[in-house]
Amino acid sequence: MSQTSSAATPPGRSAPWWRDAVIYQVYPRSFADADGDGMGDLPGITSRLQHLADLGVDALWLSPVYPSPQKDAGYDVADYRDVEPVFGTLADFDALAERAHALGLRVVVDIVPNHTSTEHAWFRAALAAGPGSPERSRYVFREGRGEHGEQPPNSWRSVFGGPAWTRVADGSWYLHLFDSSQPDLDWTNPEVDAEFRDVLRFWLRRGVDGFRIDVAHGLVKAEGLPEWDHEQALLDGADGADGPDGPDGADGSARRPPMWDQEGVHEVYRGWRRVLEEHPGERILVAEAWVSPPERLVRYLRSDEMHQAFNFDYLRAPWRAGDLRRVVDATLAAHDLVGAPSTWVLSNHDVVRHASRLGYPAGSEPASGVGPDDPQPDAALGLRRARAATTLMLGLPGGAYLYQGEELGLPEVTTLPAQVRQDPSFARTGGADRGRDGCRVPIPWSGEEPSYGFGPGSASWLPQPPSWRELSVAAQSGAEGSTLELYRRLLAVRREHGLGLGALRWVDLPGAGPDVLAFRNGDVLVVANLGAQPVAAPAGARALVASGELPGGALPTDTAAWFALPA
């Protein structure tokens, strides 16, 4: 087992590393493939970690690499204490962590506690043991409705489409908020909690620096599993179609969806925090909780719970100055209530890459999945706005999350044919939901032919478009004006000026209208122009970095820049 300790805190720095960390998401299937089978793997990731160090991020978050039938790309876990052979071995994981720490990078792993795979030993045992057994009580088994129990126990829907219940051979039903291969665990069973605390200890002993908690708001369901016949969507999370708290109840009060954001989840994370505190170093818990408004989200960040939560309100904000400013203000105010750092994110493996999402008219950005027959994004507009959006984001105080490939300006692959799509949401909705494969295409590193250095040969589990040749790391490295060089510069200046630990103060720029966002963070002025007219840079300000050209010193439309202010 690896004995590597966490990367050391640099001398002179007192804030814990995670308060301003930029954390880079590695999606193992698609990052780098050492053995040439078309599927990324741990040795591939280790061989490419220098790229992350050169980019200037603080940590990587690794999406799941556990043994898994891969029905949901690894978010269907069959064993929480091992590595999927397709990705490598535990020794490969240890080598990755050791190399990362040697490069000064922290390692955050994914934990999936809401559900297991149907291939997990517990679920197999539950099926074998039969109704009413202790083995079944680790999951949410219920009898069906109707004369012969032929109707599901309630009307809940799966996030991936279709009913949230599947019937087993003896007639009982089990709950799965996601795919039928992902049975939900019953978190009222103390055995489940004990098991996960032990899993945390297993990885903490291996030297991980933190955990990203999948569906953190879903573990505990309302008692009695009350009816909820609304469509579910991954992106809707706690806020059903009718607004932040779901539809109004009969008495006019807002009713919280019975599967999301229930009070009982907080006790789970208090227990997990205590487990982390048994271990030396600054280890963290990060909530993947689709919870709105931010005052609800930050309840996960009280001082005895988690450290960070993804800011999906920011990710979902339309490309409009007013909307962005409202989200930024609401985020900062809510996080101040609990003393937690805010985080910011624009892309991940579940959403349309922001270089394409922002290529649609503001306010009509697609949430999940674009197919060949759908309206296509304006690629040039999308990239231009994406570069500006990232420049704006990395100027904000707090932590930030990047998703592999965004530093190359990679677009969503919208033209994937149906037969190569693997996301279960595509099949479960008969293709109505295009699914998330378009943001998961293996990334290009170098070369003229597929797989563009992803692996030693041409194999990649999803096809890469020919245009990715020009977008590879090698093609963009050292190229003036490339998106990769923009990210490197942003991260270097952000670090140099301590922007992540700074504070935001909005500024009224002379002559700038409501479509311009401008704020000071320490000694840096951040300006983003979302309007049609160019905006003059403030007199005497020196541009430190800009998302595009600044002709005559002015910011054209959809451009953001950071300026050093005269002393």
Q: Residue 17 or residue 196: which is nearer to ligand NOJ going by CB?
A: 196
40 burial level (CB within 10 Å; 0-12, 13-18, 19+) = buried
Nearest to 438 by CA among 463, 460, 458: 463
Shortest reach from residue 149's CB to ligand NOJ, in Å: 27
Q: Residue 314 or residue 562: which is nearer to ligand NOJ going by CB?
A: 314
Among 23, 55, 107, 112, binds ligand NOJ (CB under 6 A): 112
75 binds ligand NOJ (CB under 6 A): yes
Position with the least CB separation from ligand NOJ: 75
Q: Residue 112 or residue 301: which is nearer to ligand NOJ going by CB?
A: 112
Q: Which of the residues 167 through 186 are near ligand NOJ (CB under 6 A)?
A: 178
Tokens encoding 34: 């050492």
Q: Which of 33, 179, 214, 406 is catalytic?
A: 214
Among 94, 209, 214, 305, binds ligand NOJ (CB under 6 A): 214
What character string, x for contact with ligand NOJ (CB under 6 A) and - otherwise, covers 347-366? --xx----------------
Q: Residue 74 or residue 341: which is nearer to ligand NOJ going by CB?
A: 74
Q: Give the SS3 label for residue 397.
A: coil
Shortest reach from residue 113's CB to ligand NOJ, in Å: 10
Shortest reach from residue 192's CB to ligand NOJ, in Å: 16
**Inter-residue contact 76 to 181 (CB < 8 Å):** yes
3-state per-residue secondary structure call for 299-326: HHHCCCCCCEECCHHHHHCCCCHHHHHH
Shortest reach from residue 214's CB to ligand NOJ, in Å: 5
558 burial level (CB within 10 Å; 0-12, 13-18, 19+) = buried
209 binds ligand NOJ (CB under 6 A): no
The C-alpha atoms of residue 138 and residue 141 are separated, in whole angstroms, by 9
Distance between first and last Cα of the chain: 52
Compute how many other C-beta atoms are within 10 angstroms of the C-beta atom of residue 253: 9
Amino acid of residue 531: G
Q: Residue 268 or residue 493: which is nearer to ligand NOJ going by CB?
A: 268
58 carries an active-site annotation: no
Shortest reach from residue 73's CB to ligand NOJ, in Å: 7
72 binds ligand NOJ (CB under 6 A): yes
Q: Which of the residues 362 through 421 are near ligand NOJ (CB under 6 A)?
A: none
Nearest to 178 by CA among 140, 119, 232: 232
What character string, x for contact with ligand NOJ (CB under 6 A) and - otherwise, covers 325-344? --------------------
**Inter-residue contact 202 to 194 (CB < 8 Å):** no
278 carries an active-site annotation: yes
Place of tokens 């291996």: 206
Place of tokens 């020009």: 470
Q: Residue 217 or residue 497: which is nearer to ligand NOJ going by CB?
A: 217
Shortest reach from residue 30's CB to ligand NOJ, in Å: 13
Q: Residue 348 or residue 547: which is nearer to ligand NOJ going by CB?
A: 348
Q: Residue 24 or residue 445: which is nearer to ligand NOJ going by CB?
A: 24
Shortest reach from residue 43's CB to ligand NOJ, in Å: 23
The C-alpha atoms of residue 466 and residue 476 are separated, in whole angstroms, by 16
Shortest reach from residue 508's CB to ligand NOJ, in Å: 39
Spell out a b/e string for 172-207, using b for 16 or more CB atoms within 10 Å of the CB, else e: bbbbbbbbbbbbbbbbeeeebbeebbebbeebbebb
Please calculate the CA angle 422-427-429 and round it to the nearest 5 degrees. 135
What character string, x for contact with ligand NOJ (CB under 6 A) and - otherwise, covers 280-309? --------x---------------------
Is the link from the previous residue into 342 a cis peptide, with omega within 30 of 0?
no
Q: Which of 143, 263, 267, 278 is catalytic?
A: 278
Residues assigned a catalytic role: 214, 278
Residues at the site binding ligand NOJ, with contacts judged by CB under 6 A: 72, 75, 112, 178, 214-215, 288, 349-350
